Structure formats: C-alpha cells, structure tokens
C-alpha cells in the first residue's frame, strides 16, 4: 500500500518546552487514523503541522503530505457573508466548481440549502457544510480537529455515520484528532495515542462487523486505550458504584 503521509523524527516547540518529541508515523492512502491524547499531548500541534498552520512553531523533522489537503475545524468556520454554496466552493476554480459544490452539499444531505445564510443553519448543519467544503476538493488527506466536539450526542452519532460513509466513498487518508475513545474505535482503522509529544500506542482496530465478537473487541480496545490515556476506571465498576 502506498503512503499518503510520511512523518519522520518530527519535533515542534513553541517555547523552550518541546510539544512534539520525535514523531514517526505513516498514513497509507485511504487509511483512517484517529489520534487520541490528553490535553497538551501535542495532538493538535501534529495536525496543525500537517495542515501547514504552525507558522510560529520552531522545529525539525520531516512531514510529507499530499498535494490536496483539507481541514475540518472544531467550529464550522463558515464565512457568515457567503451563502452555503459559496462557502463550499470558496477557493475552488473551474467551470464545474458549483456543480461539484452542489453534489458535495447533497452528499451531506443538505441539498436545497445552497442559498441559505450560515446563521440560518443549526450547529450540526453548519458542520455538515464544513464537511462538504472539505470534500469538494477531493482531498488525498483530510485533517479533522475534534470536528464533532461542539455537537450534541445525537447529532454526533449522525455525523459519525456520515463521515464513515463519505470517507468510504472519497477514500481520503484521514487524521481525526479526538479525545473521545468510543469515537476513535468506531471510526478509525488505526488508533494512535499521543502522550507528552511521543507516540505511546499505535493500535489497529480491526473491529468485527457485528455480534458478540464486535462487542467484546470494542470493550477490550476501550480498556486498552483508556489505560494508555491514564484512565483506569472501568465502565462496569462505575455503573456498579452508582
């Protein structure tokens, strides 16, 4: 399998204290990686390094990314003075830009909202527009920085299904930064745990399609990942304690 992203000995710091201390990571084409870590573990710094947004950082190392990279932020970040479709095609050139934009909007189930203003949409709808904007350029790498963090639980589940389906269709390599262990297991092919600027774990999810095997694999992964994140409490014991 060919590589979409190649990271070697990546180091980054903003002040004297290093934030990333020698990251080595490959992401294959079409691979979905979830990046877990506590606050301050450096996961956002890694994403911003790949997005080319770390202007103020000092550092060494290699980060090779493909030509077409898209970013989804925690906030939808739609320009309030552009209608929905104009937001999606922002920066897109070519005669078919609007057609592609409309197709992307239909993919996130918002067909017909082309001419709405961003403020007329709900939070979940705005984030779907942001997703459409990130996919309209057919990215080879999709970087998502806690994209569902600001959404309510029900909307988040719908967004999971949507993102899973769309990444299966468009096949970008995905790096999803999250602090939600369940979200990571649910969506990713591989979960990478970052701790104090180093990769603490790199686990292939390989979740069975359904049934008891899936449930038990999910639970095992969950315990393992929570352990890497320094959380010892088991959900079962929590439930028993109440």
Q: b/e for 200-235, b at 16 or more Cβ within 10 A?
A: eeebebebeeeeeeeeeebeebbbbbbebbeeeeee
What is the footprint of other proteins within residues 17-56 (CB under 8 A)? 51-53
Query: Which tokens is 175 given?
Result: 């790096």
Q: Please, which residue, 116 or 196, has the CB nearer to other proteins?
A: 116
The secondary structure element, H or E, covering residue 217 is helix 211-228
User: Which of 10, 19, 35, 69 touches other proteins by CB under 8 A?
Assistant: 69
Binding status of residue 71 toward other proteins by CB under 8 A: yes
What is the footprint of other proteins within residues 111-140 (CB under 8 A)? 117-119
Integer Cα distance of 71 and 136 in angstroms: 12
Determine the interface stretch with other proteins among 70-78, 148-156, 182-190, 216-224 (rule: CB under 8 A). 70-78
User: Which of 7, 20, 73, 195 touches other proteins by CB under 8 A?
Assistant: 73
What is the footprint of other proteins within residues 74-113 (CB under 8 A)? 75, 77, 79-83, 90-91
The secondary structure element, H or E, covering residue 84 is helix 84-88
> For residues 110 and 129, is the Cβ–Cβ distance under 8 A?
yes
Q: Please, which residue, 129 or 199, has the CB nearer to other proteins?
A: 129
Chain residues that interact with other proteins, rule: CB under 8 A = 51-53, 69-71, 73, 75, 77, 79-83, 90-91, 117-119
């Amino acid at each position: 399998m060919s590589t979409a992203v190649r990271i070697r000995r990546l180091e980054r710091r903003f002040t004297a204290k290093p934030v990333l201390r020698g990251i080595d990571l490959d992401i294959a084409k079409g691979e979905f990686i979830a990046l877990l870590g506590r606050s301050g573990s450096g996961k956002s710094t890694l994403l911003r390094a790949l997005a080319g947004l770390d202007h103020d950082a000092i550092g060494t190392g290699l980060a090779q990314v493909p030509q077409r990279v898209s970013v989804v932020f925690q906030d939808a970040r739609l320009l309030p003075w552009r209608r929905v479709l104009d937001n999606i095609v922002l920066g897109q050139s070519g005669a078919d830009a609007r057609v592609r934009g409309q197709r992307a909007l239909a993919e996130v189930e918002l067909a017909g909202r082309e001419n709405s203003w961003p403020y007329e949409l709900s939070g979940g709808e705005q984030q779907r527009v942001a997703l459409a904007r990130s996919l309209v350029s057919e990215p080879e790498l999709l970087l998502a920085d806690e994209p569902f963090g600001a959404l309510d639980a029900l909307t988040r589940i719908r967004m999971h299904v949507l993102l899973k389906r769309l990444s299966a269709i468009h096949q970008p390599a995905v790096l999803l930064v999250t602090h939600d262990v369940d979200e990571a297991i649910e969506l990713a092919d591989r979960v990478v745990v970052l701790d104090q600027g180093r990769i603490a774990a790199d686990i292939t999810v390989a979740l069975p399609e359904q049934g008891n095997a899936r449930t038990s694999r999910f639970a095992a992964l969950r315990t393992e990942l929570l352990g890497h994140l320094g959380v010892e409490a088991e959900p079962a014991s929590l439930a028993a304690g109440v």
